Amino acid sequence: MRLSQVGACVLLAVVSIQLVPCKGQATEFLFGTFPDNFWWSTATSSYQIEGAWNVSGKGLNIWDTYCHVGGNVNNNDTGDVACDSYNKYDEDIKLMKELGVSHYRFSISWARIFPDGTKASYNQAGIDHYEKLVDALKANDIIPMITLYHWDLPQALQDMGGWTNESLIGHFNDYADVMFEKLGPKVDLWLTFNEPFVVCWLGYGVGAHAPGIKEAGTSTYECAHTIIKSHAKAWHTYDTKYRATQKGKIGITLDSDWKEAFNASNPDDVAAADRAMQFKLGWFAHPIFVNGDYPEVMKAAVYNKSMAQGLDASRQPSFTEAEKQEIKGTHDFFGLNHYTTQLIEPRDWEFESWEQDQEAKEIRDPSWPDSGSDWLKVVPWGLRKLLSFVKDNYGNQEIIITENGVSIQSNTKEDALNDQARIDYYRGYINEVLKAIRLDNVNVIAYTAWSLLDNFEWSRGYAERFGLHYVDFDDPARPRTAKESAKYIKQLIKDHGFPDTSGGSKKQGSAIVGLCSVLGVILLKLFN
Ligand SMILES: *[C@@H]1O[C@H](CO)[C@@H](O)[C@H](O)[C@H]1NC(C)=O
Ligand SMILES: *[C@@H]1O[C@H](CO)[C@@H](O)[C@H](O)[C@H]1NC(C)=O
Ligand SMILES: *[C@@H]1O[C@H](CO)[C@@H](O)[C@H](O)[C@H]1NC(C)=O
Ligand SMILES: *[C@@H]1O[C@H](CO)[C@@H](O)[C@H](O)[C@H]1NC(C)=O
Ligand SMILES: *[C@@H]1O[C@H](CO)[C@@H](O)[C@H](O)[C@H]1NC(C)=O
């Protein structure tokens, strides 16, 4: 061997050693495929895509009201037309066929079924619309997964207090019952609520979503209390009245960030991160999956803060024993939405709100890549840790990832279509799902990409695009165009993961590196 070759070998050996991460978060890519019965889905929600806000007997919902007040939503955008999917669902189904998904998660607009929220106002035209959609999906071999509540509460129910009024438990149950009765023969995957955390915090806490209430230390907790009981009641209705004949599955879908201790060697940071997880995911998951009640650490913290304020009871309502029995175990799977991660350290807050009761502070590592949404930093490894947390805390359930995805803001259509950042996001996050399954034995059974289409991103209007397909909101026809990420997801689904296509040559490569390293070491010894 010539000296230059020796040098090259040594260099190669050094480089190959450098490529192995020695500390910090594991970033190594895992090649491999998903289990055979793992399935792929994409998702939307009624208000974000349907439009048709004033047709066929539909009543007003809280997002109609909220958007029609100037200043509530970025650019005063509304969902009046949105993607016009109420009329263009056939086109949406073609896009799904092209992607190769086996499932489609969408939501029902309650106010199309019960225009005033109550069963007295039953509107057959609403059922007819969703039945046509379900039939069209099934004709295309796409399995519907229906969310009953994805945030668009009939306005008439808001007028009596919305989710802070426990009479909604009965109204929601009436609505769920009708949907099971009418569509249940054709649908066997149901979600009661989508992200109750967001409903109660953004809607009743900080007021950044409809109905725009800012009662962060009180109504937020009451909202969650009513929603948990509503979920449980609807689950039991399905369980006792429909399960035997319809044989479907019903659960709730909870959103959670991963909360990583800022300093994992500092017990105070670790405790704060756990508190933050309990306040966010445990708030809903603990009653439903553990014992019918809120996490102890959460109850104690809110109680403590309430006492310090001079109140005579906790601001967080409590469940009776009978209610705990009714709530506990109301799940057939664990529905999980996930987007991002934060670092957590303890912090004493002066004021009282859901956020401050937990005495924790969120920090975002400046090195984490940004997205089109200020709250969404790209941190793929957080998903793997979250999945293990769910497994360890909630009894190793079947987990359906019901949402995961990323927004991008683009100035031109061309930019929007060339969404390499979204491909990177999906590749990274979905690979962490594979690691959770293959390396951590987490029972994840499905993955849902949010979203099929660019759509109405709530108070951000149309500025933050989450779609695999571009929608031109300036064109009355709302044409859709596949982005590069749609092609990527299509291939990923076809491959059922990340098969190591470089197989042989890669192994040869590492054999050469290995040989060179050995030679390098021997030569170094000889020449020293
Ligand atoms: C429905 O709303 C649209 C605007 O989005 C309006 O042009 C139309 O006249 C309304 N239709 C009815 C029946 O009120
Ligand atoms: C939105 O509506 C508000 C209130 O009507 C108005 O002051 C504001 O200029 C509007 N913004 C845009 C971008 O049109
Ligand atoms: C709660 O709803 C019921 C009707 O279902 C209504 O009679 C009552 O006034 C509401 N409570 C509040 C505080 O609005
Ligand atoms: C992390 O916490 C440990 C234990 O409190 C402390 O010794 C260490 O200095 C901290 N590390 C940093 C980077 O702050
Ligand atoms: C309650 O507050 C006291 C001080 O006011 C504190 O010492 C104690 O640790 C707190 N307990 C909980 C569970 O937060």
Q: For 15-32, give the secondary structure using H, E and C.
A: HHHHCCCCCCCCCCCCCE
**Residue with tokens 């200043």, as numbered in its chain:** 71
Question: Rounded CA gap, 491 and 445, in Å?
Answer: 19
CB 66 within 8 A of CB 74: no
What's the CA-to-centroid distance between 198 and ligand 1, angstroms? Answer: 30
Please, which pLDDT band fits residue 401 given cuts at 50, 70 and 90? very high
CA distances from residue 36 to 119, 175, 445, 446, 495 in whole angstroms, order as listed = 42, 36, 10, 11, 11
Q: Is residue 150 part of a domain?
A: yes
**Number of structural domains in the chain:** 1
User: Is 419's pLDDT higher than 80?
Assistant: yes
| pLDDT at residue 141, as a whole number | 98
Q: Is residue 396 part of a domain?
A: no
Give the pair of three-digit tokens for residue 132: 């046509």
| pLDDT at residue 351, as a whole number | 82
Give the HSE-up count for residue 305: Cα atoms under 13 Å, Cβ half-sphere.
Answer: 21
Question: Rounded CA gap, 19 and 293, in Å?
Answer: 47
Q: Is residue 122 part of a domain?
A: yes
Whose CA is closest to atom 4 on ligand 1? 80
Q: Is residue 105 part of a domain?
A: yes
For 255-307, how does the pLDDT look when each residue is reduced to its tens digit (9 = 90+)?
Answer: 999 999 999 999 999 999 999 999 999 999 999 999 999 999 999 999 999 99
Predicted structure pTM score:
0.92
Contacts of 239-248 with CB under 8 Å at 24 or more apart are 241/177, 241/180, 242/180, 242/181, 242/184, 246/180, 246/184, 246/185, 246/188, 247/188, 248/184, 248/187, 248/188, 248/189, 248/190
For 356-393, how does the pLDDT look when each residue is reduced to its tens digit (9 = 90+)?
Answer: 999 999 999 999 999 999 999 999 999 999 999 999 99
CA distances from residue 405 to 219, 376, 401, 426, 524 in whole angstroms, order as listed = 30, 10, 11, 7, 49
Pocket lining: 56 vs ligand 1, CB cutoff 6 Å: no
| pLDDT at residue 509, as a whole number | 44
Question: Rounded CA gap, 221 and 14, in Å?
Answer: 56
CB 360 within 8 A of CB 344: yes
- The active-site residue out of 403, 432, 457, 464 is 403
User: Is 37's pLDDT higher than 80?
Assistant: yes
The enclosing H or E element of 335 equals: strand 334-337
Please, which pLDDT band fits residue 426 given cuts at 50, 70 and 90? very high
What are the DSSP E strand ranges found in 29-181? 32-33, 39-43, 103-107, 143-149
Q: Is residue 454 part of a domain?
A: no
Residues having CB closer than 6 A to ligand 3 are 160-161, 165, 167
Question: Rounded CA gap, 411 and 409, in Å?
Answer: 7
CA distances from residue 472 to 325, 373, 458 in whole angstroms, order as listed = 49, 20, 17
CA distances from residue 438 to 37, 333, 392 in whole angstroms, order as listed = 14, 19, 16
The question of whether 50 is a catalytic residue gets the answer no
324 CA to centre of own chain: 26
Pocket test for ligand 4, best of 23, 260, 262, 265 (most atoms within 8 A of CB): 265
User: Worst-scoring range by mean pLDDT, 131-135, 142-146, 279-283, 505-509?
Assistant: 505-509
Please, which pLDDT band fits residue 237 given cuts at 50, 70 and 90? very high
Whose CA is closest to atom 7 on ligand 5? 304
Pocket test for ligand 4, best of 23, 262, 266 (most atoms within 8 A of CB): 266
Whose CA is closest to atom 13 on ligand 2? 75
CA distances from residue 437 to 335, 392, 432, 510 in whole angstroms, order as listed = 16, 14, 9, 26
Pocket lining: 71 vs ligand 2, CB cutoff 6 Å: yes
68 CA to centre of own chain: 27
For 144-199, how does the pLDDT look when each residue is reduced to its tens digit (9 = 90+)?
Answer: 999 999 999 999 999 999 999 999 999 999 999 999 999 999 999 999 999 999 99
Q: Is residue 450 part of a domain?
A: no
What's the CA-to-centroid distance between 54 and ligand 1, angstroms? Answer: 6
Question: Rounded CA gap, 137 and 94, in Å?
Answer: 10
Kindly report the average pLDDT of the chain as a whole number. 93
| pLDDT at residue 511, as a whole number | 47
| pLDDT at residue 350, as a whole number | 79
| pLDDT at residue 503, as a whole number | 58
Strands 143-149 and 103-107: parallel
Q: Is residue 171 part of a domain?
A: yes
What does the pLDDT average to over 59-67? 98
Pocket lining: 76 vs ligand 4, CB cutoff 6 Å: no
CATH number of the domain within which 301 lies? 3.20.20.80
Q: Which residue has the higher pLDDT, 512 or 225?
A: 225
What's the CA-to-centroid distance between 467 and ligand 5, angstroms? Answer: 45
For 16-27, how does the pLDDT look when each residue is reduced to its tens digit (9 = 90+)?
Answer: 433 333 333 557
Q: Which residue has the higher pLDDT, 21 or 410?
A: 410
Please, which pLDDT band fits residue 518 given cuts at 50, 70 and 90? low
Backbone angles phi, psi at 360, to 5 degrees: -140, 155
Closest ligand to C-alpha of residue 68 is 2
Closest ligand to C-alpha of residue 275 is 5
What's the CA-to-centroid distance between 480 and ligand 2, angstroms? Answer: 28
What does the pLDDT average to over 309-317? 97
Domain of residue 82, residue span: 36-371
Beta carbons within 10 angstroms of residue 70's beta carbon: 7
Q: Is residue 385 part of a domain?
A: no
